[in-house]
Structure 1
Amino acid sequence: MLPDETLVFDNVPVTTLARAVYDQALDARSVREAAVIIDMGVSRVVSQARTTLANVHRLVERHHKTRGIVRVRNALSLATDRSASPWETRTRLLATLDADIKGLLQNAPVFDLAGDLLGVADLIDPETGLVIESDGAHHRQAEQHTDDDRREERFERTNAVVCRVTALDHKDRWETVARIRAAHRDAARQTDRSWTLDKPDWWWRWEPGRRWD
């Protein structure tokens, strides 16, 4: 460990967040799980202490011949600072690597053509309007489930196609991949697109919206 990878907090030496993310990613059981660790360590859309992708990149570049470093480098190529949960990351990797859907945006605000917010899509393909919602355990709670259903209805009224993926769905990877691909084909056939990713003027003045910028 290099000297500038530690700091002193309340008279106790601790590693920097970038070094902590690096250490955990080194021990991950796969490239995808290493990407989950990195995503959570750099996320800009959740309220937590974080580092940045640039910091992790710089740290990795200074280390060589470390067990697991190739896994971390590969994971960095998949990482984003837009993920709000581990299951969102896993779902994004399923859609991009297995279902081969490129260019997905994560946690993107979606609006109708009047400029009203439909919701923040966990994942959206800007070309077709496929929305992929990743449902973790908290989505089973009644209030969250109700909010999810209402947001899905708003998306679908504007001819976006919604595919929901739960943690349980990840246990049957290829069945879930088939569902995502089928939803992607359905979205590609939609011709009456009445949703947009263009942010209206009011969005930039709305304090809660800053989380998603």
Structure 2
Amino acid sequence: MRLQGAAYFDGYGLDGRTPRPLLLASPDRQLRPSEAVRALREPVPPTERILAHGVWVTSPERALLDEMCGLDLWEGVVAADMAMAAALTSLARMRRYVASRPRRRNRQLVLDMLALADEHSASARETLTRLVWVIVAGLSPPLCNQPVFSLHGELLGVPDLFDPESGTVVDFDGSDHRSTVARHHDVGREELMRVHGLEYVTVLEPDLRDRARLGARFVDARERGLGRVCRDDASWTLMPPPGWPMPISLDDRLDVADLSAEARATARW
């Protein structure tokens, strides 16, 4: 997946420090696992092979399934989200592929991961924050990177997570938000959203280490947001103004990419 353009898969775990072994799939019994290599003794049919930068690798769906089968629930959802963020595959494509592998080990766990995955997450920390919202806080899945507008068509922001029922915004502030310019922008965005009746929650890296506390914060914030909605303090909408570009679905983008690849292959012949 790294060779096919998914930057998240850099050989380290979620902490960014713990090395993860390289997964090699082959029916060859001579292949031996080590600290650096995890061997998966399964055949790789021609339909699941891709030449990337001169290296034979498995297809995105096969690679992601193999990866997810060796992870826990939270890590597996992050892996799925990040493969889709890189536009390597989609939820629909993964579900079809997993359905074609009924005897695969940990198949039910993978299906549980896909049920929690989202095609619109932009980072691993966004995904972890969303999982705290859904799993720990027990709240309905929020929208990911959904543009929010004022009633006059002004773009208020594109929150990492957004609960439309309560008007609650959740943004994860990582290292890219530490500069003075970035903080100035973040503070201005938060003030603008609050003026329009939105509840705002900022999540930092240390917050993800205490999931129970963060989950409680989400529940409290959502209750405050529901209170604002009941008082009719809100002046925001998810309806884009006229002329706003319509989003293209991930499946449509992948279909176009497949057609382009087929056209290039035909032209070479």
Q: TM-score, normalising length from structure 2? A: 0.70
- Indicate yes or no: 2:210 matched with 1:172: yes
- 1:147 and 1:21 map into 2 onto residues whose CA distance is 36
Structure 2 vs 1, CA of residues 64 and 210 (structure 1 numbering), >3 Å: closer, same or farther? Answer: closer
- 1:159 and 1:33 map into 2 onto residues whose CA distance is 34
Match of residue 24, structure 1, among 62, 67, 76: 67
Aligned residues: 204
| Aligned counterpart, 2:154 | 116
- 2:170 and 2:55 map into 1 onto residues whose CA distance is 43
What letter is aligned with 1:100? G
- 1:156 and 1:186 map into 2 onto residues whose CA distance is 12
Gaps of 5+ in 1: none
Of structures 1 and 2, the one scoring higher in RCO (CA 8 A, sep 6+) is: 1
Deviation by residue 1:97-137 (Cα, 9 ceiling, x = unmatched): 22122141110101111110011011111111011112223
Q: How does 1:36-185 map to 2 (within 5 A)?
A: 36-43=78-85, 48-185=86-223
Structure possessing the higher radius of gyration over alpha carbons = 2
Contact 1:133–1:165, Cα closer than 8 Å, also in 2:
yes
Structure 2 vs 1, CA of residues 175 and 103 (structure 1 numbering), >3 Å: closer, same or farther? Answer: closer
Contact 1:109–1:197, Cα closer than 8 Å, also in 2:
yes
- 2:52 and 2:168 map into 1 onto residues whose CA distance is 45
- 2:158 and 2:114 map into 1 onto residues whose CA distance is 25
1:144, distance to aligned residue in structure 2 (A): 2.4
| Aligned counterpart, 2:242 | 201
Gaps of 5+ in 2: 1-43, 251-269
Name the structure with the higher helix share. Answer: 1
- 1:128 and 1:12 map into 2 onto residues whose CA distance is 49
Secondary structure in 1 matching 2:244 = helix
> Sequence identity of aligned pairs in percent?
35
- 2:220 and 2:143 map into 1 onto residues whose CA distance is 19
Contact 1:122–1:132, Cα closer than 8 Å, also in 2:
yes
What letter is aligned with 1:195? W
CA RMSD in angstroms comes to 2.1
Which stretch shows the higher mean deviation, 165-174 or 34-43? Answer: 165-174
1:10, distance to aligned residue in structure 2 (A): 5.3
Q: TM-score, normalising length from structure 1? A: 0.87
Structure 2 vs 1, CA of residues 168 and 84 (structure 1 numbering), >3 Å: closer, same or farther? Answer: same
- 2:53 and 2:75 map into 1 onto residues whose CA distance is 32
Contact 1:87–1:135, Cα closer than 8 Å, also in 2:
no
| Aligned counterpart, 2:262 | none
- 1:178 and 1:49 map into 2 onto residues whose CA distance is 33
Structure 2 vs 1, CA of residues 68 and 146 (structure 1 numbering), >3 Å: closer, same or farther? Answer: farther
